[in-house]
């Protein structure tokens, strides 16, 4: 059950909202709803989640009482061991087999594990819980219910944002509920739903057709570029849409969850991009890995090494495949290059050149992220420059349904809104709006409600009509 599904929108969510506000035990009610939500999609691995909740609460209690470093180490190691087994065992077995075969030693290791839904997200939250207790950044939870709710709260369980324990510890104890807060959350949820269903899903058709055709070496260069930018927008609107839905639902239940995206494609460098893209993941790696490694308080070479290793692991966190490792190494390399001096030269150049640089570097990085294999990655890069295609079966004319051009225009306006504001200022027509929610607030309240109702109905109609609705987080 995903947020953009009829069962969730018309059965689970409204029934749960009624239940939540009727009972006095808010945390227990939200925990029960979260476990039910997870069990709906993972009827077997709900037990793994429950074991993780009990284990981390027990270890966290020991850490909170004694500030036990051995308990912290055991907790982190066992959390990572569970993640490693279910997510990376098959990948490592395959890599070992290929490595031994390459030197003439026949070896066949096969491990097939089902990847539990959301395990990457709730594992990182569990580790945050243990580290924040050890550092005394937050008070110990009142009991198992609070611990379990923090780790498994359904709005952000399967797709983030990754919420650090210290940022919500007080809210687990005391938070406010109001009509205004609920309405604000509902508005953000609808905007996120529209981003996912009306924009991301439309771009997904073109992106999937392009990458499938590239694997068969049947993609024209023009279609390859259109497909690449379709995926560039798809991954943003899908991820930002889920984040907005999660943050909106959190606010409906009284929580203020951290912002996860801040117009990343308006950045002017890869360094700035990572301050705007999946912000909670960037901050997690910064606080719990980069800084403990020494951060930028060490020599220049060690700082470069720290950056590169962090993003190599960031890539591996996204998926157990060499393509994700390549994606992480790619971003890490550009971060190092910018820190070594490129960013100084970028900052001196025209703003348009800096934006173009960021868009091209970011877009090209999505090829290995989306491709199914290293061979498919190389084939797609070749298609972009018109090399290696055996036929031209897939062109821009049959890449996607009619109307993709209009969706590109709408998507670009929404994703690049701060740049639209800058253009308005440059032309003398200043637009005093900051972001999509503000765009709606600037309109009359009645019009806002009409627009939101239209977006919800259009999104629901698309889902009910069997529109393409992929769930891309199964690999995470």
Q: According to the model, what pLDDT value does residue 105 have? A: 72
Instruction: Give tens-digit pLDDT for 204-230.
Output: 999 998 888 766 677 888 889 999 999
Positions annotated as catalytic residues are: 318
pLDDT at 51 over 70: yes
pLDDT band at 434; cut points 50, 70, 90: very low
CA 389/CA 438 separation, integer angstroms: 46
CA 140/CA 132 separation, integer angstroms: 9
Instruction: Give tens-digit pLDDT for 18-47.
Output: 999 999 999 999 999 999 999 998 899 999
The pTM for the full model equals: 0.90
Q: According to the model, what pLDDT value does residue 432 have? A: 44
pLDDT at 428 over 60: no
Instruction: Give tens-digit pLDDT for 67-85.
Output: 999 999 999 999 999 999 9
pLDDT band at 392; cut points 50, 70, 90: low
End-to-end CA distance of the chain: 16
pLDDT band at 318; cut points 50, 70, 90: very high
pLDDT band at 435; cut points 50, 70, 90: very low
Question: Residues 165, 288: contact at Cβ < 8 Å?
Answer: no
Q: According to the model, what pLDDT value does residue 136 have? A: 94
Specify the range with the lowest mean pLDDT, choosing from 151-165, 323-337, 404-418, 430-444. 430-444
pLDDT band at 444; cut points 50, 70, 90: low
Specify the range with the lowest mean pLDDT, choosing from 61-65, 213-217, 382-386. 213-217
Q: According to the model, what pLDDT value does residue 348 have? A: 87
- Is residue 349 left, alpha or beta, with left meaning phi > 0 and alpha meaning psi from -120 to 50? beta
Q: How many CA atoms lie within 13 A of 330 on its CB side?
A: 16
């Amino acid at each position: 059950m995903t947020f953009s599904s009829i069962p969730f929108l018309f059965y689970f969510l409204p029934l749960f909202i009624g239940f939540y506000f009727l009972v006095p035990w808010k945390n227990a009610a939200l925990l029960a709803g979260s476990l039910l939500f997870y069990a709906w999609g993972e009827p077997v691995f709900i037990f793994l989640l429950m074991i993780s909740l009990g284990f981390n609460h027990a270890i966290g209690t020991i850490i909170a009482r004694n500030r036990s470093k051995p308990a912290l180490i055991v907790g982190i190691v066992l959390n990572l061991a569970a993640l490693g087994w279910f997510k990376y065992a098959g990948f490592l077995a395959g890599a070992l087999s290929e490595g031994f075969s390459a030197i003439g030693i026949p070896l066949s290791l096969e491990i097939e594990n089902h990847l539990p839904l959301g395990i990457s997200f709730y594992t990182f939250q569990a580790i945050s819980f243990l580290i924040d207790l050890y550092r005394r950044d937050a008070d110990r939870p009142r009991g198992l219910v609070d611990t379990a709710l923090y780790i498994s709260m359904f709005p952000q369980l399967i797709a983030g944002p990754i919420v650090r324990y210290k940022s919500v510890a007080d809210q687990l104890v005391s938070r406010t509920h109001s009509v205004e807060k609920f309405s604000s959350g509902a508005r953000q949820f609808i905007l996120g739903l529209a981003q996912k269903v009306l924009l991301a899903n439309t771009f997904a058709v073109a992106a999937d057709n392009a990458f499938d055709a590239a694997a068969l070496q049947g993609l024209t260069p023009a279609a390859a570029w259109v497909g690449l930018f379709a995926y560039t927008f798809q991954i943003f609107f899908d991820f930002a849409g889920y984040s907005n839905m999660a943050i909106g639902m959190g606010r409906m239940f009284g929580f203020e969850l951290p912002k996860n995206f801040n117009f990343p494609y308006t950045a002017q460098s890869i360094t700035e991009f990572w301050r705007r893209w999946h912000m909670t993941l960037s901050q997690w790696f910064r606080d719990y890995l980069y800084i403990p490694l020494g951060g930028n308080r060490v020599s220049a070479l060690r700082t470069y090494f720290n950056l590169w290793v962090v993003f190599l692991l960031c890539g591996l966190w996204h998926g157990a495949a060499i393509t994700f490792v390549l994606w992480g190494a790619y971003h890490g390399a550009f971060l190092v290059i910018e820190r070594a001096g490129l960013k100084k030269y970028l900052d001196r150049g025209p703003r348009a050149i800096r934006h173009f640089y960021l868009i091209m570097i970011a877009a090209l990085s999505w090829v290995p992220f989306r491709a199914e294999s290293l061979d498919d990655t190389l084939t797609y890069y070749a298609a972009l420059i018109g090399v290696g295609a055996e036929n031209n079966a897939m062109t821009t004319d049959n890449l996607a349904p009619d109307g993709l051009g209009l969706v590109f225009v709408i998507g670009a306006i929404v994703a690049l809104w701060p740049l639209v504001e800058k253009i308005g200022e440059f032309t003398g027509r200043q637009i005093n709006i900051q972001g999509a929610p503000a765009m709606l607030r600037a309109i009359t309240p009645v019009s806002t409600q009409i627009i939101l109702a239209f977006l919800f109905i259009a999104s629901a109609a698309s889902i009910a009509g069997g529109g393409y609705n992929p769930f891309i987080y199964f690999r995470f």
